[in-house]
Amino acid sequence: MKTNPSNPSRREFLTTTTKAGLTVGLLGTAFSDLLAHPHQQVVGTGFTQTPLPYAYTALEPHIDARTMEIHYSKHAAAYASNLRDAAKEEGVDTAQPLEQVLGSISKYSAKMRNNGGGHYNHELFWSILGAPTEGGLPTAAGTPNAPEGALLKALKTSFGSYEAFVSQFETAAKTRFGSGWAWLLVDASGKLVVSSTPNQDNPLMDIAEIKGTPILGLDVWEHAYYLHYQNRRPDYVTAFWKVVNWKAVADRFAAATT
């Protein structure tokens, strides 16, 4: 099975991407205001596709290599390419973080909304996944990379327990009609919230019903799972926890709440 030979190391990828996703709307603060705070390191999402930090086979058996290859090299790549086309057509400066565009997406075309969202969502998605041996539940003794520390405390504070969070997140993912995403986000009050969005929308957008900074996302478009799971979306959602990189999620949480 083909792998991605140009992948950087996982450490290099996380260094450059885990704090992506801070936006105009982060905690109700403008992006320029965030830059004025030196304690908060802000790395915006660009308009080009980032190489995967792992091989296409890395998430097996939970997400198969063929699905990963098609998902990354075809679907996600198309969003990135179409986003750049939309930016050129609409005179958008691609040197700025994509988050700035998403924060006022209502001012742009449907092409910008669909492809800007699609590109951002997938860049986040790749960054919060990891090999099955590196993901797990906090209740599994000795399991590396499980939620812990400030993130686990915040999950318990916001949802009552980690298990209650998982249940709410799975419900959002399983019941999203048609195509879309399930999210764990930090809202304007600093609280963790679960939401879902249709198509390629996300909580950064000014048109989102529930707004905030996403720190965990699950793609429930059929192209993300159909080759392996067919119509069994609930099985795919359950398997997702086996490949979550909780360290990356914790880093995003820290960046969004610092």
Per-residue pLDDT at 130 exceeds 50:
yes
Is residue 234 situated within a structural domain? yes
Is residue 70 situated within a structural domain? yes
Mean pLDDT for 44-53 is 95
Q: Phi/psi at 113 (nearest 5 deg)?
A: -60, -50
Calpha distance 156→160 (Å, rounded): 5
Distances in Å between the alpha carbon of 40 and those of 24, 36, 132, 140?
14, 9, 31, 32
* DSSP assignment letter at 242: G
Q: How many domains does the chain have?
A: 2
Is residue 232 situated within a structural domain? yes
Do 106 and 183 reside in the same domain of the chain? no
| Span 6-45, pLDDT tens digits | 344 444 434 444 433 433 333 333 333 333 322 233 358 9
Do 121 and 147 reside in the same domain of the chain? no
**If you average pLDDT over every residue of the chain, what do you get?**
84
Q: Which tokens sit at 134?
A: 């590196």
Residue 79's pLDDT band (cuts 50, 70, 90)? very high
Do 225 and 176 reside in the same domain of the chain? yes
Contact 225, 179 (CB under 8 A): no
Is residue 137 situated within a structural domain? no
Do 163 and 67 reside in the same domain of the chain? no
| Span 205-214, pLDDT tens digits | 999 999 999 9
Is residue 132 situated within a structural domain? no
Do 216 and 191 reside in the same domain of the chain? yes
Q: Phi/psi at 244 (nearest 5 deg)?
A: -75, 130
Side chain identity at 190, as an amino acid letter? G
Within 10 angstroms of residue 151's Cβ, the number of other Cβ atoms is 25
| Span 91-121, pLDDT tens digits | 999 999 999 999 999 999 999 999 999 999 9
What is the span of the domain harbouring residue 208? Answer: 143-242
Helix axes 149-159, 162-175, angle to 10 degrees: 70
CATH of the domain at 200: 3.55.40.20
Is residue 183 situated within a structural domain? yes
Contact 197, 219 (CB under 8 A): no
- The better pLDDT of the pair 74, 131 is held by 74
| Span 186-230, pLDDT tens digits | 999 999 999 999 999 999 999 999 999 999 999 999 999 999 999
